[in-house]
Structure 1
Amino acid sequence: MYVISEEAVISGEIASIWQAATDVAHWADWDPHEEKSRIDGPFAPGAKGWVKPKGAPAGPFTITAVDEGVSWTSEARIPFGKIRGHYTYAPLADGAVRVVKRMEVHGPFHPIFRLIWEQAIRSDMHLSFAALEREAQRRLAPDVAHG
């Protein structure tokens, strides 16, 4: 197994951050890493989804665990293995939240991930953290067009 893990502290309310992070149908609207995404059913263990990351092949995933407002885990099959993503959200003082994304690559292709994609994935994680912060704040802002 090979692990890529990054974390950041972002500002915002945990409920809004959680809402944005688990709104699979709208990931591509705000996350610069995603081109398209969908989920079939509610965001809960066993739910099946599909995602097309930028610069990588599209594929299905399954939500394997959800601790509402705290963490969630997904798995996707790759040839001869799988990728498991684990995401956690921990409120800190002063309206900040620690977000952690941990990607585990299981199977014989982990050296390829390390060699080809590790730096891009790490960089992408921080871009996604910043985009999540902006999206969570946008979701809290009053709708001035309809207000």
Structure 2
Amino acid sequence: MTQIATAQATSTAAPAAFFAKWADMATWPEWNNDTEWVRLDGPFAQGSTGTLKPKGGPKVGFVIEKLTDSEFVDVSELIGARLTFAHRVAVDGDRTTVTVTVSIDGPLRWLWTKVMGADLAESVQPDLDALVAEAEAVRV
């Protein structure tokens, strides 16, 4: 597995605020600058599938591989590779630390890393920062 990028931010928002934003996938383009649209086929639950359309790229299917009270992992199947976004929250007193890690695995991971790795690495922290601003505006 190859790690493409990781980002971390600390917030005053509760973990539930982040999960509310992640669950409302239709609004992802409001804080995720590289996303044109996202559609979830069912509930925000482990095993649910959906489709994401990155700006300037083809639409791609994904599955919510893991969903707990502290972690949300979605995986997109690419030709010859699996692109994983792992979102984790940890609470320390009145602060929430959010970490997003993007990784890729599979025989063609080298190709996909070359094609989109730099753009993903560049966008993860700004997208997380925008998500924090959105989550802090939510009262859960």
Q: Report the equivalent of 1:31.
A: 32
TM-score, normalising length from structure 1?
0.82
Shift of 1:100: 1.6
Q: Distance in 1 between matches of 2:24 and 2:92?
A: 23
Q: 1:127 deviation in Å?
A: 1.0
**Could you say what secondary structure the match of 1:4 adopts?**
strand
Partner of residue 22, structure 2: 21
Structure 2: how far apart are the matches of 1:115 and 1:62?
Answer: 23
Contact 1:7 1:98 in 2 (8 A): no
- For the residues of structure 2 that align with 1:138 and 1:25, how far apart are their CA atoms? 17
Q: Which runs of 5+ in 1 are unaligned?
A: 142-147
1:113-124 to 2 correspondences below 5 Å: 113-124=112-123
| Aligned counterparts of 1:133 and 1:88: Cα–Cα separation in 2 | 13
1:6 is aligned to: 6
In structure 2, relative to structure 1, the CA distance for the partners of 1:7 and 1:97 (3 Å cut) is farther
**Which residue in the other structure is 1:125 paired with?**
124
How far apart are the structure 2 equivalents of 1:14 and 1:60? 26
In the TM superposition, what are the counterparts of 1:1-147 in structure 2 within 5 Å? 1-11=1-11, 12-68=13-69, 70-93=70-93, 95-140=94-139
CA contact (8 A) 2:9 2:132 kept: no
Tell me how large the CA RMSD over aligned residues is. 2.0
Q: TM-score, normalised by structure 2?
A: 0.86
> In percent, how many aligned pairs have the same letter?
23
Whichever residue aligns with residue 59 of structure 2, its letter is: A
**Cα offset for 1:65?**
1.1
Q: Structure 2: which 5+ residue stretches go unaligned?
A: none
Please tell me the residue identity of whatever aligns with 1:78: L
Q: Tell which deviates more after alignment, 132-141 or 81-90.
A: 132-141
> Residues of 2 paired with 1:129 and 1:38: CA distance?
20
